A and B are shown apart, each in its own frame.
Chain A
Amino acid sequence: MGQMNNISAIVAGGLTKRFGDFVAVDNVSFDVPEKEFFGLLGPNGAGKTTTIRMLTGVLRPEEGKVSIMGLDMDRDPLLAKSSLGVIPEIGNVYLDLSARENLEMFGRFYGLSRRARAERTSALLEELGLGGRADERIKRFSKGMKQRVSIGCAIIHEPQVIFLDEPTEGLDVQSRRMIVEKVKRMNKAGSTVVLTTHNIEEANQLCDRVCIINRGKVVALDTPDRLRSTFEGARSVEVTFDRPVERSAFFDRCITKVEEKGNKMRFYTSDPDQAIRKIMAVRDEKGLTIMELNTLAPSLEDVFVKLTEATR
């Protein structure tokens, strides 16, 4: 995890964007300090992509402002965009060019000298496992390889801020690991990272803080641990019995919800101690044997589902 300090790498202040009558993003605000790994989560259509498009200068907000490394995106778009690197979901690179040509071309946009372009391109292609195929046309590459080229293009200028829009969606395990490791290394080296993803576990592992957006509004913004702790009611006890049991046997004030899958049952509670007492009472009454028992803290996914359901 990156070390945080007080300088804001990204400031989103009251961002609002409408498409006709539809409000896609409604007064979204957050600051991302330098070197933070920041997650932007939300269901499909929540407004994540529109928010990212405004942060990266693709869309202009109707209200609000964006600043990147202290530069106002509206007043100084070219300078603000110079410190960004954007890795889109699909490896959007030029298929008629080779991996080397793609990286060098992107380096030119950021004003790298010919020598710097050549050196960084060769080093990055090696690091991304593409050194042996650097001069082949990308048309023949797999999806994972194209995405690695896309990442190379986004970081050729060693950006201070990196935006990743679901970068590992649909990739094989090796490509996914390589990409995650590379981004982690860049974050450790000082880059601020904004990650949008549907993979809650990935966000949980990587992000210092996560912002959950739903219906265009920020519904939560905190560290994964603190978000989980605010949902104590989502704690649960998971028990495997030796045979199936009627869920009605467990109805009690201390158990808010029961889920069952064959012999395995999950009891949601705000008081695990009371819930376990109730479960033991039913066990004795019915002559059951407990094969396995676990208490579970709410996952970030539980928090995400609760928050996005609540505002649906």
Chain B
Amino acid sequence: MNMEIMVRGVTSIALKDIKVYYKKAPVFIFGLILPTFLFFAFFMGRQLDLGTYYPGFLAMALFFTASSVGPLITPWEKQAGTFERLLTLPVSIPVLVLGDTLAGAGFGLIISTMVFVAGVFIAPLEIGLVSLLALPLLFALGNLCFSALGVLISSPAGPVPSNIMMLSSLIRFPLIFISGIFVPLAEMDGAFRLVTMASPLTYLVDGLNHALMDQGVLPLALDISVLLVFTIAFLLGANHILKNKAMKGL
């Protein structure tokens, strides 16, 4: 019975988030417009091989979109007074975290799938058996991982969304510069490479390089395993912090 209520809670939270937050301006600005500008700023006017950089751009689109919904939800709900009300419904903090993560992942999945479909037509991709097996897994894990990161960022939030959006930008922007998107992982060495290995985005970029270009540097199984570990760590972290900070600002 409790499991049934939990599953219902997770799906209800996710549906609520989809209805309320997918259309919010910060989600569009930080999730769609910014990565699009970054892509054009880096790629336009330069003689770069689209095939080499496409997996990185796909990963960047997935990363930005999946992590754009989560940071908004908790501070927005606290500001609107709906957060405390949610806690009186048959939901718990883990249910809130999972529901918010699912909603963010859904947004990321929709946009990254659109970017992928466009890429099939414009980039010289090598889609083989590995792609067919690894891509759904990488998309699912990547979206869950970065959506959970967004929820983790918002977990200590008070009732001021702009504070968390600023914090979110402070965390997300450096990650795209150290994750093998603009500088391929194979060309990195020394301390820079070590820093790169600490970013979860590196493993998605490398995994997509395997799946789309057959050019990954790390073993694909390692990419998938590390993404899974980061996802679990982000979920547990968000759950722990939100449990302690749920009443902040109420």
Residues of chain A touching chain B, judged by Cβ–Cβ distance below 8 Å, are: 53, 56-59, 76-79, 81-82, 84, 86, 88, 90, 92-97, 101, 105-106, 108-111, 163
Contacts and interface: CB of A to CB of B under 8 A. Distances in A.
A86 B85 contact: yes
B91 A109 contact: yes
B82 interface: yes
B20 A94 contact: yes
B51 to A, nearest CB: 42
Contacts of A59: 247
Contact of A58 (B1, B2, B87): B87
Contact of A96 (B4, B20, B85): B20
A81 B80 CA distance: 22
Contacts of A53: 84
A109 B8 contact: yes
Nearest to A107: B12
Contact of A88 (B12, B15, B84): B84
Given A58-B87, A92-B82, A109-B12, A76 B2 contact: yes
B88 to A, nearest CB: 4
A77 B92 contact: yes
Contacts of B90: 78-79, 81-82, 109-110
Given A90-B81, A97-B19, A105-B19, A79 B2 contact: yes
A58 B88 contact: yes
Given A58-B84, A59-B247, A105 B92 contact: no
A79 B19 contact: no
Given A94-B16, A108-B15, A109-B9, A81 B81 contact: no
Interface string B119-162: 00000000000000000000000000000000000000000000
B88 A78 contact: no
Contacts of B23: 96
Given A78-B2, A105-B16, A57 B85 contact: no
Nearest to A94: B20
Given A76-B2, A97-B19, A108-B15, A81 B89 contact: yes
Residue among A58, A78, A82, A97 facing the most chain B CB atoms (10 A cut-off): A78
